Structure 1
Amino acid sequence: MNPFLFIITGVITRGSEILEWLFNTPTYKGKKGEERIHNILMQLPDDYVVMNDVILKTNKGTTQIDHIVVSKYGVFAIETKNYRGEIYGDDLRKEWTQMIITDVTYGKKWWKTYTYVTKNHFYNPVKQSLAHSIVIKSLLAEWPALKVTPIVVFTGSAVLKDVTSDYHVVYDCNLLETVLSFRTIYLADNDVHKVADILLSNNLREFVDDKLHVYNIYAKKAEVHNKVAMGICPECGGNLIMRSGKYGTFYGCSNYPKCRFTRR
């Protein structure tokens, strides 16, 4: 083979491998999912205000919210998950499960099919979206009756196989219907813009990049770990004492039931 053609073929092959890897990274998939949900939300009526990729300050650092929708019918905190496979979870468990089932046939044994099951775990998106709604609510004290609704939306080819929740966990095709189903009026038209302006003025996206946001998350985890190691409750500062429960021993806060922090 011509050396020049050999080099070009190698570059193209390597480039294809890099692109395939890039398109399958969680970051790329997450951004594509958020882009799809943004396009869906832009179909809302003109009196709905849509904000994307918002970073707000919390007492624990920062929190990133995929989408916020402001309307006279309330505020919606939307968490996007671009997943595939079967999804299992409920409101209480700390992590949800993604199960990917793949059937593979190899050339040498074309008559036989092998089934591979991959299990992944991810942080409970309902808890995530609820935390976002609490942060939003804290910035809007001027409207104490304003409803802030958490919504978890799955895009991609995920199947909600066994998901039970008292909150809204929906497919992307049902997102508009879910948002538009809220018809109780909480805000006057001019207040919609005031609320949107408050949220935009508190958006730190211009000042906090993804790396710093991730650093804040890990820094908070390290702080919690250090306090627990010293026997201090990271939630209220109480003492951690060993208790016995249905599933064995665990450490609980001495200020229970006011503080319900536990750690195994």
Structure 2
Amino acid sequence: MPELLNGFLSGILIYTKMPIFYVLVGLVVLRMIYRLKRPAIRGVIGEWKVNRRLAKLGGDYRVFADLYVPNGEGGTTQVDHIVTSTKGIFVIETKHYSGWIFGSDRQKNWTQVIYKRKEKLYNPIWQNFGHIQSLKGYLNNENLDIHSIIAFSSDAKLKFKEPFETAHVIHANELNKVIIKFGDNVLSEAELKRINDLLEQLVFTDRLEKRQVKKAHLEFVKRKQFSQKPSKLNQPKVNASAMKSESNKPIPLAKLETAVTVEESANSLGDCPRCASELVQRRGKYGEFVGCSAYPKCRFTLKKEA
């Protein structure tokens, strides 16, 4: 037995001296890292592709990416992309989802279907409406001509039954075509310069400063989420099936703006710091918590403070 063990160890030592051993170990480690960080890597690559595509718009357009815009409530809202020009302002919410996507202007929750699994996602049009309202407040111009664009990755199959009236919901490869179709000037050069100067103040060149702003944003989202959570004491009992049906019931377009204003603050929780997917409220065996919509690929959670 000792001789067998010595032979085994000697064999391992021989293999460890071969370059191919370290190559194989490196490949295994890289595979493990990729599987763990896949959602984040996918999000980074997706944002890079969008930035590269928007850069082809030309000199008449200015592109801002990943901005934290003050929301007037002591916190910020995270905006994926803002494109400015004399033709208007375009606020873009990117979604790096796969599968079939179902939804409409007026539904609170959309549905993502991957094979037989269904997941709910908060209506990205409503989410982007909140971004636009914060942007108008920061730019001090409520009458600003801003266009809402929801851009899904090519992995998503958009299965919408009716056209959208309050936003452009497209694939990311259609972004430039949608933007350049607005050909009339609606902003003066002076107003455009003022807007660009204000947005420039939200651009961070220092990575540490950017991380601090991102951390403060997540802390604000967490505080607001749990402060708005209603107490279970003295709450009337509600039929669960009726409540579920009501939550997905379309609302009239005339009430959309009011509904979005209320629902956005309560349901749009920002983006996951690990993979840039949407944060959503979930329920586990220990109660409710905020987690990443990309679960189980991404297991980021925000724990309630004691």
TM-score by shorter chain over 0.5: yes
Q: What is the match of residue 12 of structure 1?
A: 26
Q: Which structure has greater helix proportion?
A: 2
Identity %: 27
State the match for 2:186 in structure 1. Answer: 186
Give the whole-Å Cα distance in 2 for the aligned partners of 1:199 and 1:16. Answer: 38
**Residue type of the alignment partner of 2:69:** L
**Residues 16-27 of structure 1 mapped to structure 2, 5 A cutoff:** 16-22=30-36, 24-25=38-39, 27=40
Given candidates 24, 41, 52, the residue that maps to 2:65 is: 52
Could you tell me how far apart the structure 1 residues matched to 2:214 and 2:106 are? 28
CA-CA distance at 1:247 after TM superposition: 3.5
The one of 112, 118, 122 equivalent to 1:98 is 112
> Can you list the C-alpha shifts for 1:32-91, whole angstroms capped at 9, x where unaligned?
211111111111120211101100121162111010011111111100111211111122
Distance, in Å, in 1 between the alignment partners of 2:85 and 2:236 is 46
Q: Which amino acid aligns with 2:190?
A: N
Post-superposition Cα deviations, 1:117-163, rounded to whole Å, max 9, x if no partner, equal: 2322222211111111111111223x454201111001231110136
> Does the C-alpha gap of structure 1 residues 28 and 55 become closer, same or farther in structure 2, counting only changes over 3 Å?
same
- What is the aligned residue count? 229
Matches within 5 A, 1:178-257: 178-202=178-202, 206-207=209-210, 208-225=212-229, 228-229=230-231, 247=242
CA contact (8 A) 1:71 1:192 kept: yes
Distance (Å, rounded) in 2 between the aligned partners of 1:52 and 1:175: 14
Distance 1:52 1:122 in 2: 23
Q: 1:145 to 1:162 in 2, by over 3 A?
A: closer
Deviation by residue 1:170-216 (Cα, 9 ceiling, x = unmatched): 11121111111113322112321211111222457945443332222
Report the residue type matching 2:148 in the other structure.
Answer: P
Pair 169,60 (structure 1): closer, same or farther in 2 beyond 3 Å: farther
- Residue type matched to 2:216 in 1? L
Tell me: CA distance 1:219–1:175, structure 2 relative to 1, closer, same or farther (3 Å): same
Separation in 1, partners of 2:114, 2:35:
18
Name the CA distance, whole Å, in 1 between partners of 2:198 and 2:26.
49
Higher relative contact order (CA 8 A, sep 6+): 2
Distance 1:16 1:243 in 2: 49
**2: distance between equivalents of 1:248 and 1:55?**
34
1:159 maps to which of 157, 160, 163? 157
TM-score by length of 2: 0.64
